[in-house]
């Protein structure tokens, strides 16, 4: 038996203009609980252990916007219709990679769950085409304007994405039927391809089409991530005179007579936020994840640590909703750099500016910060987690630790 892990790629189609939604910006770039709609699916696929690579088909006019919100994710220029965007995407994936399978997903469906992705991947092991669907529960009627006729809803399904296929099969079908106009990829299999397997879709995986859908999606995801956590972080680094070393605070280089001493770049602000994020998921502290004795972190850019902590939150299905950091020092002045720092932190955490707060205070000449011996930073992070990630106390633990 071949136990090698299959190479599964994902193609997210996001080249549409969202005409029915009618906003100035295409719906996939609008904010949804603090993250662009598109990022929800990019992030969930990127963090899924069964998925090897994620590609996004975008409109060429949105290349700059896309690079800003999803750095490091491969962008492919889509086409004039969804079907053309998929074909262009698959052709580009074929040039860059040779995946065994591909999952094709609409960016307009940000509410899919990790479990749904897992289910599609597992079902693909014994099927060439797998799609999520929900049995239709409403009564279905057909009308020609003049009369109305009730249709049987027996065996009718409302079909969603991601749709999973053997890569070579779906690419060949898309090439062969590029002239036809279809609304999903599995329709190609119905013309000439393999049998299509329907697995259980999810109510929360509906397509954002009209403005009211976005509000409903926000409520759906918020309800799923209602376990609100708060974490604090605190850090101190010593001020020293050292030629050639930069003073980094909250990801920005500041000009000053002194710099902060430390194994990494000693960015006291980013360290405090990193600890605050780790605290929300009860996952130790920065020193546990990045040993101060490890040569890899010598003079390291502390944005790496912060990004790692954010990745751990995301891996639990969490959403960072807000971070706040206070820098405690007499000098340098933080105020003039405040907004640049907020933008930098927001860039690292994919958070908009109104979810990142940077403050500063002196200690009126008192204590080590007052004597300018060091700089301290204190941070608070707020995260929403799915209730399922709550640690469960087993009977043994209760016997051992309970009173
Ligand atoms: N899509 C695409 N390329 C196109 C058209 C659509 O990649 N030329 C993508 C959309 O970005 C969306 C998905 O296909 O993620 C499903 O399409 P739909 O919900 O219809 O989005 P839009 O086409 O953008 O919306 P509308 O039809 O209202 O204009
Ligand atoms: Mg459309």
Nearest 5°: phi and psi at 252? -115, 145
Q: What is the mean pLDDT of residues 71-80?
A: 92
For ligand 1, say whether the CB of 256 is within 6 Å of any of its atoms.
no
Q: Any idea what DSSP says for residue 5?
A: P
List CB contacts of 368: < 8 A, sequence separation 6 or more: 236, 374
* Rounded CA separation 192/86 (Å): 18
DSSP-assigned letters across all residues of 379-393: EEEEEEE-GGGSPPP
Identify the H or E element spanning 140. strand 140-143
pLDDT > 70? residue 3: no
What CATH number belongs to 8-224?
3.90.550.10
Q: Is 363 helix (H, G, I), strand (E, B) or coil?
A: coil
% residues pLDDT > 90 (the chain): 81
Cα(337) to ligand 2 centroid in Å equals 43
C-alpha distances out from residue 206 to 11, 32, 191, 214, 234, Å? 18, 14, 26, 10, 41
> How confident is the model at residue 26, as a pLDDT?
95
Tens of pLDDT, residue by residue over 207-232, are 999 999 999 999 999 888 889 999 99
Residue 317 is predicted with a pLDDT of 79
Question: Confidence band (pLDDT; 50, 70, 90) for 71?
Answer: confident
Nearest CA to ligand 1 atom 6: 16
Count of C-beta atoms within a 10 Å radius of residue 200: 11
CA 300 to chain centre: 24
Residues of the chain with CATH 3.90.550.10: 8-224
User: Between residues 109 and 113, which one has the greater pLDDT?
Assistant: 109
Which structure tokens are listed for 32?
């949804």
Span 301-347, pLDDT tens digits: 999 999 999 988 987 878 899 999 999 999 999 999 999 999 999 98
Q: Where in the chain is the domain with CATH 3.30.1330.50?
A: 227-385
Q: Which residue has the tokens 């949105």?
A: 62
Query: CA angle, corner 83, sides to 89 and 80, nearest 5?
Result: 90
pLDDT mean across residues, the chain: 93
Which of 108, 160, 174 is the pocket-test mutation for ligand 1 (most atoms within 8 Å of CB)? Answer: 108
Q: How far, in Å, CA of 188 to CA of 174, rounded?
A: 7
Ranked by mean pLDDT, which of 39-53, 65-79, 86-100 comes out on top? 86-100
Token digits of residue 326: 């206070």
Closest ligand to residue 30's CA: 1
**Dist CA 38 CA 214 (whole Å):** 12
pLDDT in tens, 242-268: 999 999 999 999 999 999 999 999 999
Beta carbons of 256 and 331 less than 8 angstroms apart: yes
* pLDDT-derived band at 390, boundaries 50, 70, 90: very low
Which pLDDT score is estimated for 393?
54
Q: What is the mean pLDDT of residues 146-173?
A: 97
Residue 282 has pLDDT above 90, yes or no: yes
pTM of the model: 0.77
pLDDT at residue 325, rounded to an integer:
98
Tokens linked to 163 = 């749709």
Q: Which residues contact 313 (CB under 8 A, 6 or more apart)?
A: 277, 280, 281, 319, 320, 383, 385
Q: Residue 2: is its pLDDT beyond 80? A: no
- Mark 325-353 as b/e (b = at least 16 C-beta within 10 Å): bbbbbbebebeebbeebbbbbbebbbbee
For residue 164 and ligand 1, the question of a CB distance below 6 A is answered with no
- The pLDDT value given to residue 64: 92
Q: pLDDT tens across 24-47, in order?
A: 999 999 989 878 999 999 988 988
> What percent of the chain lies above the pLDDT cut of 70?
95
| 240 DSSP β-pair partners | 259
Structure tokens at 123: 């079902």
Which atom of ligand 1 lies nearest, measured to the CA of 17? 24
167's enclosing H/E stretch is: helix 167-176
Per the structure block, which two tokens stand in for 124? 């693909």
Q: Give domain 227-385's CATH superfamily.
A: 2-C-methyl-D-erythritol 2,4-cyclodiphosphate synthase (3.30.1330.50)
Is the bond into 68 cis (omega within 30 degrees of 0)?
Answer: no
Distance, in Å, from the CA atom of 52 to the CA atom of 343, rounded to the nearest integer, reads 30
pLDDT at 397: 59
pLDDT at 63 > cutoff 80: yes
Atom of ligand 1 nearest to the CA of 21: 28
Q: Which comes out higher in pLDDT, residue 32 or 403?
A: 32
Please tell me what DSSP assigns to residue 154.
T
Measured between alpha carbons, how far is 31 from 51 in angstroms, rounded to an integer?
25
Find out whether the beta carbon of 196 lies less than 6 Å from any atom of ligand 1.
no
C-beta separation of 342 from 375 below 8 A: no
- Ligand 2 centre and the CA of 57: distance in Å? 14
Residue 135 confidence (pLDDT): 95
pLDDT at 69 over 90: no
Look at residue 118 in the predicted model and tell me its pLDDT.
Answer: 93
Residue 165: CB atoms within 10 A of its CB come to 28
- State how far the Cα of 50 lies from the Cα of 55, in Å rounded to an integer: 15
Q: Is the CB of 361 under 6 A from ligand 1?
A: no
CA nearest to 235, candidates 374, 90, 349? 374
158 has a pLDDT exceeding 50: yes
Confidence of residue 48 (pLDDT cuts 50, 70, 90): confident
Average pLDDT over residues 363-377: 98
> Would strands 196-200 and 129-135 be described as parallel, antiparallel, or unpaired?
parallel
Q: At 1, is the pLDDT very low, low, confident or very high (cuts 50, 70, 90)?
A: very low
Token output for 264? 């990494």
Find out whether 8 and 2 touch, Cβ atoms under 8 Å. Answer: no
Q: Is the pLDDT of residue 62 over 80?
A: yes
Q: Atom 23, ligand 1: which residue's CA is nearest? A: 16
């Amino acid at each position: 038996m071949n136990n090698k892990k299959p190479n599964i790629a994902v193609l997210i189609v996001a080249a549409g203009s969202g005409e029915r939604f009618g906003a100035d910006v295409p719906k996939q770039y609008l904010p949804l609980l603090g993250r662009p709609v598109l990022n929800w699916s990019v992030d969930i696929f990127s963090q899924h252990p069964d998925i090897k690579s994620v590609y996004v088909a975008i409109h060429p006019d949105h290349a700059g916007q896309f690079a800003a919100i999803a750095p490091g994710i491969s962008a492919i220029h889509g086409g004039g219709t969804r079907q053309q965007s998929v074909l262009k995407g698959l052709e580009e994936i074929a040039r860059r990679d040779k995946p065994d399978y591909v999952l094709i997903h609409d960016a307009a469906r940000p509410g899919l769950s990790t479990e749904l992705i897992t289910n599609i991947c597992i079902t693909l092991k014994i099927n060439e085409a797998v799609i999520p669907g929900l049995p239709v529960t409403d009564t279905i009627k057909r009308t020609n304007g003049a009369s109305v006729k009730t249709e049987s809803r027996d065996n009718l399904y409302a079909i969603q994405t991601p749709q999973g296929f053997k890569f070579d099969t779906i690419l060949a079908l898309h090439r062969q039927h590029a002239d036809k106009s279809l609304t999903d990829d599995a329709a190609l299999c119905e013309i000439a391809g393999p049998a299509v397997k329907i697995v259980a879709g999810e109510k929360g995986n509906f397509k954002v089409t009209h403005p009211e859908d976005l509000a409903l999606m926000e409520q759906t995801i918020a309800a799923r991530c209602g376990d609100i956590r708060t974490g604090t972080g605190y850090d101190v680094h010593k001020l020293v005179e050292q030629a050639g070393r930069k003073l980094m605070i909250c990801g920005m280089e500041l000009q000053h007579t002194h710099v902060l001493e430390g194994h990494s770049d000693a960015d006291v602000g980013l360290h405090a936020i990193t600890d605050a994020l780790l605290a929300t998921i009860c996952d130790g502290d920065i020193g546990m994840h990045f040993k101060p004795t490890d040569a890899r972190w010598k003079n390291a850019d502390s944005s790496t640590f912060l990004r790692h902590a954010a990745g751990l939150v995301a891996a639990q299905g969490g959403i960072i909703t807000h971070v706040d950091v206070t820098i405690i020092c007499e000098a340098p002045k933080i105020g003039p750099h405040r907004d640049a720092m907020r933008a930098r932190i927001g860039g690292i955490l994919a958070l908009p500016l109104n979810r990142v707060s940077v403050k500063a205070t002196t200690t009126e000449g008192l204590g080590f910060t007052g004597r300018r011996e060091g700089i301290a930073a204190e941070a608070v992070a707020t995260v929403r987690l799915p209730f399922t990630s709550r640690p469960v106390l087993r009977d043994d633990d209760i016997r051992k630790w309970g009173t």
